Amino acid sequence: MTTPPSARPTPRQLFGLAAGAVLAEINVHGHDTLGVDPAMVDTVLRRDWGIEDRAQLLSMLEWLAAEGHRKEFEKLHARWQDAGTMPGDPLQLHRPDEFLHLSIEEQVALRERARVAGDLLPLHRSLIAWDFGRLIMLARWGFSIGFLTEAEAWGWVDRAGAQIEGHFRYWLDVGENYLAGVRFWSKDDERLVDDTQAALDRLFDPKNGKSPWNRVPFPGGAGAPEVARRMEARRTARAREHATDMRNLVLLVAAVVVAIVAGRVVGPRFHPCDRLDDRLCADLGPDSCELWKGRFNKAVSGSSMRHESHGRRLLVDRAMHLLLGWDSERSHETCSAQASDAVYPGTLDAVRATIAVARQ
């Protein structure tokens, strides 16, 4: 049973909550109280963090405070600075002894993080906002399900807020650094990056009265002309991204429509499966043809109408038939072989035998 906060947060505590606003926004939590609805917290901690008790929570909080993902990033930044240039393969920022002993999967992940780091290192020295922003949300979750007392949780929030205040000048810097952390950790996972961008759009929206970044001033950074210029540049870039996404969507839809029309109008003339179907039906006669089509679903030939797969294979199969007129599993090469003069008599005999047995 969780205990509600004893008093309204102080300005200092509100700053700490605002410092962890990105993950709170992504998870649709409020920004004005320490606790959140505990209904989903236990599942999130177990599924996404591997945390099942107080000891594991404290261990994760301490790791984020001492190292986090910024430790690896800062090491890459220092080596990039020492080298004076970015190597053609960013993996070279790691020494061979740091990855040769890893599994293939771990080496691939390390290479992907190094690739993303190659884009981020010129812009960021560390990932302070990423590590300490998550720490703040983790402390809030821990309090909400009773793993931390209120005093303990506020202590972690204040500690993390002080780190963020000491390393940045504006909320804009905090948001951009958090996004860099998402990109580095997730290896540029499109869904996670998009979710974070959407949360930042809401937090940066000057019309959003619920955004703590509009209500809680960053010490010494309010109203700076530099921020206004950078915010305008960010809005322009985001608008350009949205326009590109819409254009790509329209082009994709148009391509699908053209493919469907082409498959329906032109495709049947070239698909051996259609010709095989027509030839069999002509030799079987109307009654047998209908029985073969309906009851047996053309099961003893390479028919273009057969959809026997399940799950993802079924979706691929149906899409191939819709777009191109043949199945991915029962291919047109099979139909070509069964329609050849050497094989066709055997195909016809097999269909007739199947129908004869069914009629007995």
In a domain, 290, yes or no: yes
Average pLDDT rounded to a whole number, residues 303-332: 52
Number of domains observed in the structure of the chain: 2
In a domain, 114, yes or no: yes
Residues 77/125, Cβ–Cβ less than 8 Å = yes
Nearest to 143 by CA among 269, 3, 270: 3
Residues 162 and 287 in one domain: no
In a domain, 49, yes or no: yes
Q: Of 43-47, 228-232, 314-318, where does mean pLDDT reach its minimum?
A: 314-318
pLDDT tens for each residue of 20-58: 999 999 999 999 999 999 988 988 999 999 999 999 999
Query: Is a pLDDT exceeding 70 seen at residue 347?
Result: yes
Residue 308: pLDDT band with limits 50, 70, 90: very low
Give this prediction's pTM: 0.67
Lookup result for tokens 């079924």: 314
Helices (H), the chain: 11-19, 21-26, 41-44, 54-66, 70-83, 104-120, 128-144, 150-167, 171-186, 190-204, 212-215, 225-265, 272-284, 286-294, 311-324, 332-339, 344-359
Residues 140 and 272 in one domain: no
Q: Which domain holds residue 56?
A: 11-241
In a domain, 15, yes or no: yes
Query: Is a pLDDT exceeding 90 seen at residue 10?
Result: yes
pLDDT tens for each residue of 153-196: 999 999 999 999 999 999 999 999 999 999 999 999 999 999 99
pLDDT tens for each residue of 71-123: 999 999 999 999 888 888 888 888 888 878 888 888 888 889 999 999 999 99
